[in-house]
Structure 1
Amino acid sequence: MNGECRSSGVAGILLAFIAGAAVGGGLALLAAPRSGEETRHRLTDMVDETREKIHEMTEEAEAQVRAAIEEGREALLEKRDMVKAAVDAGKKAMEEERAKHAKSS
């Protein structure tokens, strides 16, 4: 659950960053004294660069999510093994106590 909160927080930050960059870049291009054709080319270049950055960030975020899932899976398996060992030790101790009481009765 904590990993989910972290993942959604990172995703929100990335989206806010990307949106801010896109809006800021677009406003800067529109406010600059250039011809319409030059402005369109610059906007196209900016969109292409932003698309590439989004793709890279998405791949990185996916890799981080996969790593977090794997860490969680490993931790879960480790805890499962610990609980199983504790249950087995409890059963063994209970059987030993029963054997002691059966001998003394």
Structure 2
Amino acid sequence: MDEERGFSAKSVFLSFLLGGIVGAGLALLLAPQSGKETRAKIKETAEDVKEKAEGYLKEAKGKVAGILDKAKETLEEKKSAITKAVEAGKEAYEKELSKDKEQEG
């Protein structure tokens, strides 16, 4: 149903994640703490977000690499099947030509 409206699960998840990050940042900024404590918490949160983003990126790269490997394998299989079919077609054509020449001669 979300797909029909143009929203994918990925975009909803990323929106949720971004909203959580913004909310956490605002909570840190508005909490009654000293500036030094607030900056330390913001830095810590930013580092956590960076680590999570790097993890998601690494995971996505792994999935893409797997998909590409599978696509290459499938392409090679199809290419091989087409090559065999073309060769079989050539052989059949040449057999028919030789039959025609034998019948003429």
Q: Under TM normalisation by the shorter chain, which class is it?
A: 0.7 to 0.9
Q: Does 1:29 align with 2:28?
A: yes
CA 1:13 to 1:62, structure 2 compared with 1: closer, same or farther past 3 Å?
farther
Gaps of 5+ in 2: 1-7
Given that 1:18 and 1:54 are in contact with CA atoms closer than 8 Å, whether structure 2 keeps it comes out as no
State the match for 1:99 in structure 2.
Answer: 98
CA 1:67 to 1:18, structure 2 compared with 1: closer, same or farther past 3 Å?
same
Deviation at 1:50, TM superposition (A): 0.6
Q: Does 1:53 align with 2:16?
A: no
For 1:44 and 1:69, the matched residues in 2 are separated by: 37
Count how many residue pairs are aligned between Structure 1 and Structure 2: 97
For 1:23 and 1:59, the matched residues in 2 are separated by: 23
**SS in structure 1 opposite 2:58?**
helix
State the match for 1:3 in structure 2.
Answer: none
TM-score, normalization by structure 1: 0.77
Query: Which one has the largest radius of gyration?
Result: 2
State the match for 1:63 in structure 2.
Answer: 62
Could you report, residue by residue, the CA deviation over 1:12-32 in whole angstroms, capped at 9, with x for unpaired residues?
667545533321211121232
Question: What is the aligned-residue identity percentage?
Answer: 36
For 2:10 and 2:60, the matched residues in 1 are separated by: 8
Deviation at 1:38, TM superposition (A): 2.0
Could you report, residue by residue, the CA deviation over 1:68-91 in whole angstroms, capped at 9, with x for unpaired residues?
111111111111101101101100
State the match for 1:81 in structure 2.
Answer: 80
TM-score, normalization by structure 2: 0.77
Which structure has more RCO (C-alpha within 8 Å, separation ≥ 6)?
1
Deviation at 1:67, TM superposition (A): 1.0
Could you say which structure has the higher helix fraction?
A: 1
